[in-house]
Amino acid sequence: MARPIVVDVDTGTDDALALLYAVGCTDLDLRAVTCVAGNAGLEQVVENTLRVLEAAGAGDVPVAAGATKPLIERMRPEGQFHGADGLAGVELAPTSRTVADQPATELLHAAITGASEPVTLVSLAPMTNVAMLLTLHPDVADHLERLVFMGGSASVGNVTALAEFNVWQDPEAATCVVESGLPVTMYGLDVFNRLVIEQEVADRWTRSDHPAVRAAGELLHRRGTRAAGFEQDYVGVLGDAGALLVLTHPELFTTEHLPVRVNLEGLGRGQTIVDRRPHAQDQQALDRDPWPVLEVALDADLAAAAQAFVDVVDALER
């Protein structure tokens, strides 16, 4: 049976690719999509999300809008990286799909608690919506299978020496999630930065007649590295979709259960501190203030994971 998921996004070139995967993958049952400000402003994120779902031929998946800004940080949209429209200029056809009346927190609450089996919550964006959900509606804990987020790093950051964008954009929200006591999987830069789709595939897709497949190819051509901007040659970092691959293909990922905290202060603000010392967990157990232990993705069979993504997009065409 397909795994029921709800996904929070800030679409975003790689959120778009992740949504295509979520719609196309027969092992996932996409029940709701909620939007948050991040890679672009909230309105643009909503419009991008609706168009991506349309292109992918998604069924009647409800979409709701959430936070227009982080809890206390100023908005710093990743315009440089995803372009002003969040999609780096990749154009998608308008759609008659509309956003729900209820806000993101209420749609998530309804979708999660209304399901007959436990739901997996996937966060691909700053965790503002998710933090408000957990604060307003703690009853979702009883209905969640797991929470998977793209964010953080157990090694090097991107927006700062130590911090990854999603966590850095709303470190308080990330704290709320990490300290929630829920079973949480962190898909951070440690694998994110290395999981790429080959240019040959992207080139093939850009010639497709299927709008979603063509979009996938075009989006991959924009998936560069932060440092270099868009002028560079093809890079093809897959991004957010990796967090879904961890769900559908756990056998391809190396994860460890490690103590994790979000650093809120000073130069390290926005860092996910992952305690990778040998025996760290034993030491923590002795601590008066034990750290939350998360499942952290540290490595992957990159080629096989990439192929799993490619297979799903190829199947959209059929």
- Work out what residue 185 binds among its own copies, Ca ion, none; the CB cut-off runs from 5 to 8 Å by kind: none
- Work out what residue 169 binds among Ca ion, its own copies, none; the CB cut-off runs from 5 to 8 Å by kind: none
Instruction: Work out whether 125 is an interface residue with Ca ion (CB under 5 A).
Output: yes
Instruction: Work out whether 158 is an interface residue with its own copies (CB under 8 A).
Output: yes
Instruction: Work out whether 276 is an interface residue with its own copies (CB under 8 A).
Output: yes
Q: Which of 110, 201, 274, 300 binds its own copies (CB under 8 A)?
A: 274
Instruction: Work out whether 179 is an interface residue with its own copies (CB under 8 A).
Output: yes
Instruction: Work out whether 162 is an interface residue with its own copies (CB under 8 A).
Output: yes
Q: By CB under 5 A, which span of 74-82, 100-108, 122-130, 195-203 interacts with Ca ion?
A: 122-130
Q: Which of 151, 236, 239, 259 binds its own copies (CB under 8 A)?
A: 259
Which residue, 4 or 270, is less far from its own copies as judged by CB? 270
- SS3 annotation, the chain: CCEEEEEEECCCHHHHHHHHHHHHCCCEEEEEEEECCCCCCHHHHHHHHHHHHHHHCCCCCCEEECCCCCCCCCCCCCHHHHCCCCCCCCCCCCCCCCCCCCCHHHHHHHHHHCCCCCEEEEECCCCHHHHHHHHHCHHHHHHEEEEEEECCCCCCCCCCCCCCHHHHHCHHHHHHHHCCCCCEEEECHHHHCCCECCHHHHHHHHCCCCHHHHHHHHHHHHCCCCCCCCCCCCCCECCCHHHHHHHHCHHHEEEEEEEEEECCCHHHCCCEEECCCCCHHHHHHCCCCCCCEEEEEEEECHHHHHHHHHHHHHHHCC
Which residue, 232 or 254, is less far from its own copies as judged by CB? 232
Judged by CB under 8 A, the chain residues 73 through 132 that form the site for its own copies are 102-106, 128, 131-132
Instruction: Work out whether 190 is an interface residue with Ca ion (CB under 5 A).
Output: no
Judged by CB under 8 A, the chain residues 212 through 231 that form the site for its own copies are 225, 227
Which residue, 107 or 305, is less far from its own copies as judged by CB? 107
CB of 278 to Ca ion, least distance (A): 21
- Work out what residue 15 binds among Ca ion, its own copies, none; the CB cut-off runs from 5 to 8 Å by kind: Ca ion
Closest CA to 187 of 205, 168, 170, 164: 164
Contact 119, 145 (CB under 8 A): yes
Which residue, 179 or 314, is less far from its own copies as judged by CB? 179
Give the up-direction half-sphere exposure of residue 79: CA atoms within 13 A in the CB hemisphere. 7
Q: Which of 7, 124, 154, 305 binds Ca ion (CB under 5 A)?
A: 124
Q: Which of 182, 273, 298, 302 binds its own copies (CB under 8 A)?
A: 273
Q: What φ, ψ does residue 307 adopt, rounded to 5°?
A: -65, -35
Give me the residues that bind its own copies (CB under 8 A), please.
Answer: 66-72, 102-106, 128, 131-132, 135-138, 155-158, 161-162, 172-173, 175-176, 179, 225, 227, 259, 261, 263-268, 271, 273-280, 283
